[in-house]
Amino acid sequence: MAKVNEEARKKYFEHIAPYKKIISELDDKESRIEAILKGNDAGEPYKRLSLAEDHLTMVSYYLVMNSLSVSLLGVKNENALNDARKTCYRTIIQLEKVFTNLVDVPFGDYEDALKATASFPETQRYDLIRKAGFSIALVRDAFGENSRWKWSFVELDARLATVAKNCLNLKTLVQGMDPRAEHYRERIEFFNLARRMLQSSADGYRLKYEVSTKRMDDFRVAISYLGALQRLSLLLGRQQEAANLKKKIDIWKERMETDHINSEKASIQKKMSGGGQR
């Protein structure tokens, strides 16, 4: 790595000073709001939505700081990128506190959370999910393909997919699919986005299992996202689509069970082999 010119370094820190100041102010704001939320606050969901927006603003500033580092110093600002990644998690955590992190469950299990944000319009929910997804994608791209945080972004994407699904009011969704309904186009886009995110999350966790961890809990998470997708298909009466997903879920479960049995056998054989050597 080339040595960074001291004059360029000074110029860089002058450029990023305003962004660091704003980030610090937003951190202080979060601390004040979290202190308020330790008590009972009827406006808690909306305050948390505001914090989520603030975190996305912080992510954008961290990305600008990295871009300036690349252009002025010729190197990535790994600290800024990692702070951006962590702040993406902070965004998701706030959204989960509002809309829950429940994946393959009936709508009734998280309906109350959606009711608590009744005055937060559907179109704004859609915009917030898209904005969060875009921010995560920008941070992932800034790290690059060979980042050690590859699987961290699979988790981030999946957790956002859960929130996106939980933002959908499944009680009013079907009638809202009428082309004459207000915001029909945005509603269809939101629904299709949530479906793509759920499918991508299932595939991402399955890939994580196959090429990285071999952990059964990753496989189970992958299956749970297929289950959530199947629930949406059933809701809309897409019986063939739901049947295909059910078939896929059964195949994945069978594969998971086979892998588990083979893993147990290999573990027993290894122990027996080790015992014989002693």
pLDDT of residue 1: 39
pLDDT of residue 117: 94
Half-sphere CA count of 266, side-chain side, radius 13 A: 6
- Under 8 Å CB-to-CB from 153, ≥6 apart: which residues? 136, 139, 140
> Taking the mean position of all CA atoms in its chain, how far away is CA 223?
17
Read off the tokens for 111. Answer: 């309906």
pLDDT tens digits, the chain, 278 residues: what are they?
A: 346 688 999 999 999 999 999 999 999 999 999 999 988 888 999 999 999 999 999 999 999 999 999 999 999 999 999 999 999 999 999 999 999 999 999 999 999 999 999 999 999 999 999 999 999 999 999 999 889 999 999 999 999 999 999 999 999 988 888 899 999 999 999 999 999 999 999 999 999 999 999 999 999 999 999 999 999 999 999 999 999 999 999 999 999 999 999 988 988 888 888 754 44
> What is the distance between the alpha carbons of residues 168 and 65, in angstroms, rounded to a whole number?
35
> What is the distance between the alpha carbons of residues 140 and 144, in angstroms, rounded to a whole number?
6
Scored b (16 or more CB within 10 A) or e, 67-100 reads ebbeebbeeebeebbebbbbbbebbbebbbbbbb
> What is the distance between the alpha carbons of residues 140 and 154, in angstroms, rounded to a whole number?
10
Half-sphere CA count of 235, side-chain side, radius 13 A: 22
* Nearest one of 19, 27, 80 to 51, comparing CA atoms: 27
pLDDT of residue 276: 45
- pTM comes to 0.93
- Under 8 Å CB-to-CB from 225, ≥6 apart: which residues? 103, 104, 158, 161, 198, 199, 201, 202, 205
